[in-house]
Chain A
């Protein structure tokens, strides 16, 4: 099953490679990984999406917790949470298909953030699934380039 794991890390050089190294050394799978600073300048927030059965996810959480630079680990999937991903998609816009493409953008809540004579750059935001659905809806041949941020998320409770 797919799990979203959220970490707070000490903002130290090397902290990211400790996490990434742990996943490769122990053969855990990473679907996506995002990391950025937070309002507390001593901390970074990292969000990892991984796939595994409950035993593996439990090991992942414990092994992450064991890393000295990791301050907190939360399995968001085990609680009420909000998940978001953003994708920028550059699309080949042939006038014959423009109407169809516009329809897909509309249906998936996409936003055209840049347009040229024959391309669109579309921003899609939502659960990963929405991004994937959008990419699927646009015929693969029309996609020139995709850049997804990977998932980020927060727990809905005030504290956890």
Chain B
């Protein structure tokens, strides 16, 4: 069959089972668009900004577990996509991004809309390819999907020169399999390491399971539940891991880290045996490394060997899929006796008693925490919640207990403001029956507002829950704590009228100023099944996110609301982000 490169590409995508592509056209990809137009089993979502395309594909991938696909043109199309690619990379999201490139004959000439896409994205992709020969295209697409979706997933960029898409060749079908000698990501769990882990687990008096995004990405919820039940160990989850283990279960201590619960962080600090499951000990989790878990032996399960020992030394490393590793541990523990940990649970109950998530209500102002609690009630805990970045993100994570994986969608690694709205659109496309809420702030939402237009065109009704505190709240909080209340550039004057704005995009806008209007407004919003509703909620501008481990401090040095109204930070902490 004689096909041009663009037709071959579309054929490859069909063979990969791609159903949705998020993209934006331009000169370098016109042949691809022409071929896509002739294909009726791939839906193309025309976004309004390439960053929105990549976040859309990202949200789609996080909810569906499938590989997200985005398509952008050369030059500015690609550079606009970079923030989205880096976001997906930091959170290990399977994604293939296709970018157009100028024709191979003019590469290097500073041609119109030429950028070195492979060079620019090199450090924020799992891998990238430049295709200059149509004969290589199908194989590279096969490799790209293989790399993006196996091992520790991540975004892969395929940069395709325009002549590659135009040239016709004899096409003999999409490759069935691919063999890459330099990429063998799946490792069998090592039995010796399992034995070593079992030895530690069976001696543990103060054990804790610390589970991260790998448990979600690795679809390991069931196994994680079995393991946790089997051992009766307490479990804490990272911002990226929320939902893999049910938050409302009694063994769950909630989230750990900078804004985690008192019980989770204290249990980590005092633990003698930590079982890290698909988590990478990043700085938001560990706080000051010198003070991190001083008494614990650490068992680390991860698919990526380079995650092990990167920031924290471990005692036992189990490299492999979370499911395989946990399964091996469960089997190995079957006929073993564990130490009685009643005393440990008693201690944990005492920490729980501190009730670190309690917050002060004030009459006349809407507390942001109460908005999330109301959202939980109205959606009965069943919504997919995407979020932007800031205080609202932390409150969403803290006050919406997720009982299932792939329901909490946020940019944890890169912390990208603007992620929430396009991700919600992608989430809705991945799971059209689900209620999708985008928890955002008046700062973040303005970074990707234009996608409201896309959402009307493609009929992806979501509920935008704008915690409007009038401030870049997370910045304001740090300035209050660490910069003697000098609020440099954290207040935004001249906010738009979000209700009118939503209406001008063809959606519904609701403004909530009084506490008593909150719940009725949310109920009304979710009643509108097939409409996007922008709920603009004026929340307490002075509220801070608690509890908090200030930069440079240890887990046992947490600040609690009510007890520690003001945080201080040491010199070392000031250097940290």
Interface residues of A (CB under 8 A from B): 10, 13-14, 17-18, 21, 25, 55, 58-59, 62-63, 65-66, 68-71
CA distance A151 to B119 in the complex (A): 27
Q: Of B126, B181, B305, B308, which contacts A71 at CB under 8 A?
A: B181
Q: Which residues of A contact B126 (CB under 8 A)?
A: 68
Instruction: Knowing A17-B119, A18-B122, say if A68 contacts B127 (CB, 8 Å).
Output: yes
Residues of A within 8 A of B147 (CB): 68
Residues B309 and A68 in contact, CB atoms below 8 Å apart: no
B197 at the interface (CB under 8 A from A): no
Q: In the complex, are the beta carbons of B127 and A63 less than 8 A apart?
A: no
26 sample A-B contacts, Cβ–Cβ < 8 Å, listed by A number: A13-B130, A14-B118, A14-B122, A14-B130, A17-B119, A21-B122, A21-B123, A55-B309, A55-B313, A58-B309, A59-B306, A62-B306, A62-B308, A63-B306, A65-B306, A66-B304, A66-B305, A66-B306, A68-B126, A68-B127, A68-B147, A68-B180, A68-B183, A69-B182, A70-B182, A71-B182
| Chain B: minimal CB distance from A86 (Å) | 29
The interface residues of chain A, by DSSP majority, are classed as helix
B310 within 8 Å of A by Cβ?
yes
Residues in A with CB closer than 8 Å to B118 are: 14
9 closest A-B pairs by CB: A62-B306, A71-B182, A68-B127, A25-B123, A62-B305, A68-B183, A66-B306, A63-B306, A21-B122
Chain B residues with CB below 8 A from A13, complex form: 130
Distance of A59 Cα from B546 Cα, bound (Å): 35
- For residue A62, which residues in chain B have a CB less than 8 angstroms away from its CB? 305-306, 308
Give the number of chain B interface residues (Cβ < 8 Å): 19
Chain B residues within CB distance 8 Å of chain A: 118-119, 122-123, 126-127, 130, 147, 180-183, 304-306, 308-310, 313
Q: Tally of A-B residue pairs with Cβ under 8 A?
A: 36
A55 CA to B126 CA, complexed, in Å:
23
A20 to chain B, nearest CB (A): 10
- How far is B184's CA from A65's CA once the two chains are assembled, in angstroms? 10
B91 to chain A minimum Cβ distance, whole angstroms, is: 17
By a CB distance below 8 angstroms, the chain B residues around A71 are 181-182
Determine the residue in chain A with the shortest Cβ distance to B151.
A66
* Chain B residue contacts of A59, Cβ below 8 A: 306, 309-310
State in angstroms the CA–CA spacing of A71 and B182 once bound together: 4
Residues on the B chain within 8 Å of A17, using CB:
119, 122
Residues of chain B within 8 A (CB-CB) of A58 are 309
**Which residues of chain B are within 8 angstroms of A66 by Cβ–Cβ distance?**
304-306
Q: Closest residue to B304 on the A side, CB-wise?
A: A66
Known: A14-B118, A59-B309. A68 touches B182 (CB 8 A): yes
Whether B309 pairs with A10 at a CB distance below 8 angstroms is no
Q: How far is the CB of A26 from chain B (nearest CB, A)?
A: 9
Nearest to A54 among chain B residues (CB) is B309
* A64 to B, closest residue via Cβ: B306
Measured between beta carbons, the chain A residues less than 8 angstroms from B313 are 55
- Report A62 CB to chain B, min CB distance, Å: 4
B92 CB, nearest partner CB in chain A, Å: 12
Q: A63 to B306, alpha carbons, bound, how many Å?
A: 6
Across the interface, which residues of B come within 8 angstroms of A18, CB to CB?
122
Q: How far is the CA of A21 from the CA of B308 in the complex (A)?
A: 21
Considering the complex, give the chain B residue whose CB is closest to the CB of A13. B130
Which residues in A have their C-beta under 8 angstroms from that of B181? 71
Say yes or no: B305 contacts A65, CB within 8 Å: yes
> Smallest distance from the beta carbon of A10 to chain B beta carbons, Å?
6
Q: Which residues of A contact B182 (CB under 8 A)?
A: 10, 68-71
A62 vs B180: C-alpha distance in the bound complex, in angstroms? 18
Other contacts beyond A62-B308, A63-B306: 4, CB < 8 A: A25-B123, A58-B309, A68-B180, A71-B182
> What residues on B are CB-neighbors of A10 within 8 Å?
182
Please give, as numbers and ranges, the residues of chain A lying within 8 Å of B130 by CB-CB distance: 13-14
In the complex, what residues of B have CB within 8 A of residue A65's CB? Answer: 305-306
